[in-house]
Amino acid sequence: MSGRGTPSVRVAVAAVMMSVLAAACASDDSSSVASSPSTTPAAESPSATPEPSGTPSGEADETPTPTDQETLPWGPTEEEYAEAESIVADMSLSEKAGQVIMAGYQGLEPPTDLIAELNLGGVIVMGDNVGSLEQLRQAAAEVQDADSRAYPVMVGVDQEGGTVARVREPATEFPTYMTLGAARDSELTTDVARASGDELRALGFTMTFAPVADVTSGPDDPTIGSRAASSDPGLVAETVAASLDGYADAGIIAVPKHFPGHGSVPADSHEELPVQERTLGELRELDFVPFEAAVDAGAPAVMVGHIDVQDVDPGVPSSLSGDVIDLLRADLAFDGLVVTDAQDMAAITETYGAGEAAVRALEAGSDLVLMPADVAAAHTAIVDAVDEGRLTAERLDEAATRGVAVMLHQQAAGDGPDEDSVGSHDELSYRASLEAVTIATGACSGPYVGDSIQITGGDEQDRARLTEAAEEAGLSVGSGEAVRLLGGASGGSGDVVVSLDTPYVLGESDASTKVALYGRTPAAFRALVDVLLGEVTAHGRLPTDVDGVDQLGCPSPPQSTSSP
pLDDT digits (tens, 9 = 90+) for 446-458: 999 999 999 999 9
Tell me what percent of the residues of the chain surpass a pLDDT of 90: 81
Round to the nearest angstrom and report the end-to-end CA distance of the chain. 37
Q: Which of 150-159, 521-530, 553-562 has the lowest mean pLDDT?
A: 553-562
The pLDDT of residue 495 is: 95
Q: Is 387 a catalytic residue?
A: no
- The band of 484, judged by pLDDT with boundaries at 50, 70 and 90, is very high
- The band of 429, judged by pLDDT with boundaries at 50, 70 and 90, is very high
pLDDT digits (tens, 9 = 90+) for 124-157: 999 999 999 999 999 999 999 999 999 999 999 9
Burial letters 343-362, b for 16+ CB under 10 A, else e = bbbebbeeebbbbbbbbbbb
Q: Is-contact 224 262, C-beta < 8 A?
A: yes
Q: What are phi and psi of 458, to 5 degrees?
A: 65, -165
Question: With 0-12 CB in 10 A as exposed, 13-18 as middle and 19+ as buried, what is 32?
Answer: middle
The pLDDT of residue 563 is: 38
Homologous superfamily of 6-27+78-417 in CATH? Glycoside hydrolase, family 3, N-terminal domain (3.20.20.300)
The pLDDT of residue 403 is: 98
> Cα dist. 121→49, 95, 367 in Å?
19, 9, 11
Q: Which of 245-254, 270-279, 424-433 has the lowest mean pLDDT?
A: 270-279
The pLDDT of residue 90 is: 98
> Cα dist. 415→229, 298, 411 in Å?
31, 22, 8
Q: Annotated catalytic residue: which of 270, 326, 344, 545?
A: 270
Q: Is-contact 315 35, C-beta < 8 A?
A: no
Q: What is the mean pLDDT of residues 256-278?
A: 89
Q: What is the mean pLDDT of residues 476-486?
A: 96
- The band of 121, judged by pLDDT with boundaries at 50, 70 and 90, is very high
Cis, peptide link before residue 258, omega less than 30° from 0: yes
The pLDDT of residue 535 is: 96
Q: Is the pLDDT of residue 40 over 80?
A: no
- The band of 70, judged by pLDDT with boundaries at 50, 70 and 90, is confident
Report, at the CATH architecture level, how domain 426-532 is classified.
3-Layer(aba) Sandwich (3.40)
Domain ranges of the chain: 6-27+78-417, 426-532
The pLDDT of residue 464 is: 98
The pLDDT of residue 31 is: 34
Q: Is-contact 480 452, C-beta < 8 A?
A: yes
Q: Is the pLDDT of residue 52 over 90?
A: no
- Nearest to residue 436, comparing CAs of 180, 230, 228, 232? 180
The pLDDT of residue 266 is: 83
Q: Is the pLDDT of residue 96 over 90?
A: yes
CA distance 344 to 409: 29
DSSP letters, 338-382, are: EEEPPTTSHHHHTT--HHHHHHHHHHHT-SBEE--SSHHHHHHHH
3-state secondary structure 299-310: CCEEEECCCEEC
pLDDT digits (tens, 9 = 90+) for 535-545: 999 999 999 99
Q: Which of 32-36, 213-217, 226-230 has the lowest mean pLDDT?
A: 32-36
The pLDDT of residue 555 is: 86
Within 8 A by CB and 6+ apart from 267, the residues are 222, 223, 273, 274, 275
Cis, peptide link before residue 37, omega less than 30° from 0: no
- The band of 54, judged by pLDDT with boundaries at 50, 70 and 90, is very low
- The band of 60, judged by pLDDT with boundaries at 50, 70 and 90, is very low
- The band of 493, judged by pLDDT with boundaries at 50, 70 and 90, is confident
Helix or strand (DSSP H, E) at 438: strand 438-441
Per DSSP bridges, beta strands 438-441 and 513-516 are antiparallel
- 44 vs 223, residue with greater confidence: 223
pLDDT digits (tens, 9 = 90+) for 327-356: 999 999 999 999 999 999 999 999 999 999
Q: What is the mean pLDDT of residues 515-533?
A: 98
CA distance 229 to 211: 9
The pLDDT of residue 53 is: 34
The pLDDT of residue 550 is: 82
Question: Helix, strand, or coil here: 250?
Answer: helix
- Does this model's pTM top 0.85? My answer is yes
Per DSSP bridges, beta strands 337-340 and 101-103 are unpaired
CA distance 390 to 339: 21
The pLDDT of residue 383 is: 98
pLDDT digits (tens, 9 = 90+) for 283-328: 999 999 999 999 999 999 999 999 999 999 999 999 999 999 999 9
- The band of 270, judged by pLDDT with boundaries at 50, 70 and 90, is confident
CA distance 469 to 266: 37
The pLDDT of residue 119 is: 98
Q: Is 311 a catalytic residue?
A: no
Q: Annotated catalytic residue: which of 185, 341, 501, 530?
A: 341
The pLDDT of residue 68 is: 53
CA distance 410 to 559: 40
Tell me what percent of the residues of the chain surpass a pLDDT of 70: 86
**What rounded mean pLDDT belongs to the chain?**
88
Beta strands in 116-212, from DSSP E residues, in sequence order: 122-125, 154-157, 159-161, 164-165, 207-208
- Nearest to residue 181, comparing CAs of 221, 260, 263, 237? 237
Q: Is-contact 439 456, C-beta < 8 A?
A: no
Q: What are phi and psi of 439, to 5 degrees?
A: -90, 105
- 229 vs 56, residue with greater confidence: 229
Helix or strand (DSSP H, E) at 404: helix 393-411
CA distance 455 to 497: 10
Within 8 A by CB and 6+ apart from 27, the residues are none
* Residue 452 DSSP class: E
